[in-house]
Amino acid sequence: MLGKGLVLVEGTDWVRHRRVVNPAFAMDKLKMMTATMVSCAESLIKEWEQLASRNESREVEVEFSKQFQDLTADVISHTGFGSSYKEGKEVFHTQKQLLALAMATLLNVQLPGFKYLPTKNNRLKWMLEKKIKTMLMAIIQPRLASNGGGYGDDLLGLMLEACLTTEQGDKRDELTLTMDEIIDECKTFFFAGHETTSHLLTWTMFLLSVYPEWQERLREEVLRECGKENPTADMLNKLKEMTMVLLETLRLYGPVLLMLRKPISDIRLGSLSIPKGNGIVIPIPFLHRDKEVWGDNANDFDPLRFENGITNAAKTPQALLSFSIGPRSCIGQNFAMLEAKSVMAMILKKFSFTLSSSYVHAPADHITLQPKFGLPIVLRPLDV
């Protein structure tokens, strides 16, 4: 589904991919995308305001899990593909179909060679993969053909520029990544840049609904730092309590449940010997609620534990694994946090909110952690 994008490649290939993709996620580049993130959130908020105005109670119930998936897809389509937004959105919808197909067959017993047989599901999978590749090629090739005209200031354009520029800033004659590798990175943009952030936003809304005192604290902070204006990157950078809440949400309800690693040499972890190349599965939720690491209140929602930064939040400085740690840590973590802050700041300025009485708390593992029955929330405009 993701091909050989940055998440899945290893060794020297990973170094080559990371070097190309890294410039697209530099903070100065991300700051320029804040206005797009805010604009996408603003469009959705206006829809909610219109729905609320039609009700006598001036309240509206919204299923946030689905709404945030649509919103983050909108954001990644704009920031990832810019002027090719409509084509990018079509790629996203096709990849979503591919994900649904992968989920439906996840637990099926896979016989050797079965994936090459022309079964109904395999034929559909091949058709969707071919469609995605064709659509992405149609976006990429005109940009490469533009030559000196620039490749665009979106994530794709920045990646293409890095592909064709040496470390000294000179032009290359050939791409650092192959066309198939560029396409796989685009797929990774979509999945990693949409799926995980939408769930971070969903669980943040859940926790702020359950803990209204923190909802009010964040609202006061947003109004103090942003006023009535749409937030800028510099304003969002000042939202310290917002950062604390997002980090605590990632600790309790992080989208990624497992992390896989293989040691490149024989290692020893405490009393455990692990041979080179042996697979290690790291169960993130268990570590994030371990009382020996996080204290007796490990199961409680307490954003103040991050008051002095991530490294001082637990007994171990690198205990928060939501974005992984080390060289292979998530390259898009600043993008995700900036987007989450942009969206939450816009919502907090406009609405107060509570959980709907129909909400059923059932976190479920669907590759990422998400509410099994959605997140229905009642919004009330603040000017009512």
Q: Quote the pLDDT of residue 189.
A: 82
Encoding tokens for residue 68?
């945030």
How many residues does this entry show for the chain?
A: 384
Encoding tokens for residue 365?
């593992």
Residue 301: pLDDT over 80 = yes
Residue 103: pLDDT over 50 = yes
368: β partners? 256, 366
The fold adopted by the segment(s) 11-256+322-381 is Cytochrome p450 (1.10.630)
88 pLDDT band, cuts 50/70/90, is confident
Distance of CA 102 to the CA centre of its chain: 19
Q: What is the mean pLDDT of residues 21-46?
A: 94
380: β partners? 352
Q: Quote the pLDDT of residue 168.
A: 56
Residue 34: pLDDT over 50 = yes
The model's pLDDT over 140-187, given as tens digits with 9 standing for 90+, comes to 888 888 766 678 888 888 888 888 876 556 677 667 888 888 888 888
Residues 379 and 384: their CA atoms lie apart, in Å, by: 11
- Closest alpha carbon to 377 in 360, 356, 357, 350: 356
The model's pLDDT over 344-378, given as tens digits with 9 standing for 90+, comes to 999 999 999 999 999 999 999 887 899 999 999 99
For 267, phi then psi, to 5°, come to -135, 165
> Within 10 Å of residue 124's Cβ, how many Cβ atoms?
13
Strands 267-269 and 351-355, how do they pair? Answer: unpaired
Encoding tokens for residue 237?
């950078």
Q: Quote the pLDDT of residue 92.
A: 80
Q: Is 330 annotated as a binding-site member?
A: yes
Which helix (H) or strand (E) segment holds residue 261: the answer is strand 258-261
Q: What is the mean pLDDT of residues 316-339?
A: 94
Where exactly are the structural domains of the chain?
11-256+322-381
Encoding tokens for residue 313?
């939040």
Is residue 105 a contact partner of residue 128, using CB atoms and an 8 Å limit? no
The model's pLDDT over 245-298, given as tens digits with 9 standing for 90+, comes to 999 999 999 999 999 988 989 999 889 999 999 989 999 999 999 999 999 999
Residues 258 and 285: their CA atoms lie apart, in Å, by: 8
The model's pLDDT over 202-247, given as tens digits with 9 standing for 90+, comes to 999 999 999 999 999 999 999 999 998 999 999 999 999 999 999 9
Q: Quote the pLDDT of residue 49.
A: 96
Q: What is the pTM of this model?
A: 0.91
Distance of CA 202 to the CA centre of its chain: 12
